[in-house]
């Protein structure tokens, strides 16, 4: 296995001190404090993480944020561990177990159960959750914030570019710095922060269950703000399950959070802002981007991002898509073809590109299984990326005391996530502790900001979507 770590980067400085080793199938693997098992293994060149159930096809990882299960392994005897969000620890024992692992050793110690009643639970420590927690804590609520990752900041922890949006909500600042700033403010406001804590389920009367690693925690909550973000969309094409086909967020996590080189030659699929930005970040990390393909006839992202790529010599082919991935154990190339105005393949336009990574950047959908479990009324709204909860003007769902902010309520961007977080933080505090002039002012300011954002060039689509799922008073049947 050869080390695949970024040594020099124009923006990021990867501190690699106090390295340690863990056991992977009898071999010693080097890891650094703060990195996950999957990142350490990938840095050593591992691509096959698990396999498919029926055909035993190889599976690499995909999302790198705990949402797709293609990285599960046995860790210290426990199967089905999501290695992409589990921190590597010295001396741990990691092994692959395929799609159908044996039942865990029943002599392992049972997790302890802790029960507690709290005022506000915030689920998710991205910009939406952190902003909600800050407002609620600054206005006297006892707030507990849960995030299943080690680092707070959600998607922001890997955004090295300067953000677009409103200057009041940090536009012009690098995403990584916005995340750190919000996390610091949450700590200063007295938020009880629980990292590496996955919220597993919702129970009657706003009770939640949390997997805190070595114990199960049950919280009875007076109010909940749900802000778990989004899941990346996938794309149907032949051989699309090969290791080396990753979501744009997965590639960013490897490269910008852990300083691991995802591959040598990347084909980017999707020329929206995410595809363009991640392509540029790949170039910054010293990776060759062979081409960006986009099925639409025009580029969806900002021209400024597209121009940077073109200046760097990266071709952007609109009206093109991937027909199939080449390779057996991992990606070795891709066959592309042109699409006509009816999205049909144009015969005779097939061509092959050599690449070892196919990066999929074709949009996101809201992550909100928990809300369905809680019985929230949901609706399919295309403009917001899929199934979304119906919400009141203060972003409360049809389940009383359960509020939703950010991408899990509909795909927009970080500025709106921050403002929605502030609005829900104020609304949940008002509900529990009563209203105040200060809370009223926060709500007013957040609402005005959201309205302003939705007047912008990318705001029309979500605005139509939000109109379709806002209810007043009694929720429609």
* Sign of the alpha-carbon dihedral angle for 66, 67, 71, 75: positive
Binding span for ligand FAD by CB under 6 A among 48-56, 126-134, 305-313, 426-434? 126-134
Q: Does 422 bind ligand FAD (CB under 6 A)?
A: no
- Member of 148, 294, 356, 430 binding ligand FAD (CB under 6 A): 148
Instruction: DSSP letter for 80, please.
Output: E
Of positions 125, 223, 389, 410, contacts ligand FAD by CB under 6 A: 125
Binding mask 21-60 for ligand FES (x = CB under 6 A): ----------------------------------------
Q: Which of 60, 229, 385, 425 contacts ligand FAD by CB under 6 A?
A: 229
Terminal Cα distance for the chain, rounded: 57
Residues 203-232 that bind ligand FES (CB under 6 A): none
Name the β-bridge partners of 247: 360
Which partner, ligand FAD, ligand FES, none, binds residue 396 by CB below 5 to 8 Å per kind?
A: none
Report CA-CA distances (Å) from 465 to 49, 383, 395, 411, 473. 38, 5, 14, 10, 19
Look up residue 146 and give its two tokens: 């849960």
Among ligand FAD, ligand FES, none, partner that 413 touches (CB below 5 to 8 angstroms by kind): ligand FAD
Is 258 an interacting residue with respect to ligand FES (CB under 6 A)?
A: no
Q: What is the CA radius of gyration of the chain?
A: 22
DSSP 8-state symbol, 106 = T
CB 36 within 8 A of CB 157: no
Instruction: Quickly tell me which residue has 């406001």 as its tokens.
Output: 189
Residue closer to ligand FAD (CB basis): 24 or 62: 62
Cβ nearer to ligand FES, comparing 82 with 166: 82
Out of 46, 84, 199, 285, the only residue in the binding site for ligand FAD (CB under 6 A) is 199
**Which residue's CB is nearer to ligand FAD, number 125 or number 465?**
125
Alpha helices per DSSP H over 265-401: 273-284, 303-311, 369-373
Binding residues among 280-339 for ligand FAD as defined by CB under 6 A: none
Based on CB atoms, which residue is closest to ligand FAD, 239 or 408?
A: 408
Say whether residue 42 binds ligand FAD (CB under 6 A). Answer: no
Give the Cα separation of 73 and 2 in Å (integer). 21
Closer residue to ligand FES (CB): 198 or 279: 198
Can residue 36 be called a binding residue for ligand FAD (CB under 6 A)? no
CB 359 within 8 A of CB 288: no
- Residue 396 and residue 35: Cα distance in Å, rounded? 36
Instruction: Kindly state the number of chain residues that form the binding site for ligand FAD, as judged by CB under 6 A.
Output: 37
Q: Is 217 in the site for ligand FAD (CB under 6 A)?
A: no
Partner interacting with residue 148 (select from ligand FAD, ligand FES, none; CB below 5-8 Å by kind): ligand FAD
User: Is 66 or 101 the residue whose CB approaches ligand FES more closely?
Assistant: 66
Region near ligand FAD per CB under 6 A, out of 1-9, 270-278, 282-290, 350-358: 270-278
State the DSSP code for 325. Answer: E
Residues from 55 through 94 that contact ligand FES (CB under 6 A)? 61-64, 66-71, 82, 84
Nearer to ligand FES, 38 or 376 (CB): 38
What does the DSSP assignment read for 111-177?
A: PEEEEEEEEEEEE--SHHHHHHHHHHHHTT--EEEE-SSSSSSGGGGG--SBPPS-GGGTTTSBHHH
Bridge partners of 7? none
Q: How far is the CB of 214 from ligand FAD (least distance, A)?
A: 16
Smallest CA-to-CA distance from 432 within 142, 147, 229 is with: 142
Q: Are 337 and 349 in contact (CB under 8 A)?
A: yes
Q: Which residues pair with 29 in a beta bridge?
A: 22
On the CB side of 236, how many CA atoms lie within 13 Å of its CA?
0
Among 31, 92, 123, 371, the residue binding ligand FAD under the rule CB under 6 A is: 123
Residues that bind ligand FES (CB under 6 A): 61-64, 66-71, 82, 84
Could you list the residues that contact ligand FAD (CB under 6 A)?
A: 123-129, 146-149, 154-156, 159, 163-165, 198-199, 227-230, 248-249, 252, 274, 277-278, 406-408, 413-415, 417
């Amino acid at each position: 296995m050869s080390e695949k770590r970024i040594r020099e980067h124009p923006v990021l400085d990867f501190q690699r001190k106090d390295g340690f080793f863990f056991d992977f199938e009898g071999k010693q693997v080097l890891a650094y404090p703060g990195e996950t098992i999957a990142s350490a293994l990938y840095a050593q060149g591992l691509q096959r993480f698990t396999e498919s159930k029926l055909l035993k096809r190889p599976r690499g990882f995909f999302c790198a944020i705990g949402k797709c299960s293609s990285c599960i392994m046995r860790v210290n005897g426990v199967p089905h561990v999501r290695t992409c969000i589990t921190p590597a620890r010295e001396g741990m024992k990691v092994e692959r177990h395929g799609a159908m692992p044996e039942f865990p050793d029943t002599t392992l110690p049972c997790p302890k159960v802790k029960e507690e009643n709290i005022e506000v639970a915030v689920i998710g420590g991205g910009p939406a959750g952190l902003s909600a927690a800050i407002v609620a804590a600054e206005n006297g609520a006892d707030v507990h914030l849960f995030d299943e990752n080690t680092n707070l900041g959600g998607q922001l922890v890997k955004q090295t570019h300067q953000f677009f949006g409103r200057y009041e909500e940090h536009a012009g600042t690098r995403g990584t710095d916005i995340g750190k700033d919000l996390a610091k403010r949450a700590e200063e406001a007295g938020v009880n922060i629980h990292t590496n804590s996955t919220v597993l389920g919702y129970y009657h009367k706003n009770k939640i269950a949390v997997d805190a690693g070595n114990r199960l925690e049950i919280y009875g909550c007076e109010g909940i703000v749900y802000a778990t973000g989004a899941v990346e969309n996938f794309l149907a094409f032949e051989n699309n399950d090969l290791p080396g086909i990753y979501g744009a967020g997965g590639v960013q996590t490897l490269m910008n959070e852990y300083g691991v080189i995802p591959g040598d030659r990347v084909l980017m699929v999707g020329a929206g802002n995410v595809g363009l930005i991640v392509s540029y970040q790949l170039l910054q990390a010293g990776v060759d981007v062979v081409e960006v393909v986009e099925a639409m006839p025009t580029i969806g992202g900002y021209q400024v991002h597209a121009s940077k790529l073109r200046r760097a010599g990266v071709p952007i082919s609109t009206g093109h898509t991937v027909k199939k991935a080449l390779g057996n154990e991992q990606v070795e190339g891709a066959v592309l073809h042109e699409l006509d105005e009816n999205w049909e393949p144009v015969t005779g336009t097939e061509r092959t590109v050599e690449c070892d990574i196919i990066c999929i950047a074709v949009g996101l959908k809201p992550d909100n299984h928990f809300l369905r479990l809680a019985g929230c009324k949901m609706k399919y709204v295309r403009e917001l990326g899929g199934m979304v909860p119906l919400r009141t003007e203060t972003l409360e769902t049809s389940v009383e005391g359960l509020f939703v902010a950010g991408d899990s309520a509909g795909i927009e961007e970080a500025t709106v996530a921050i403002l929605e977080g502030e609005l829900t933080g104020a609304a949940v505090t008002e509900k529990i502790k009563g209203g105040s002039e200060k809370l009223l002012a926060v709500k007013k300011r957040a609402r005005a900001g959201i309205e302003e954002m939705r007047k912008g060039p990318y705001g029309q689509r979500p605005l139509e979507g939000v109109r379709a799922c806002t209810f007043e008073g009694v929720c429609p049947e």
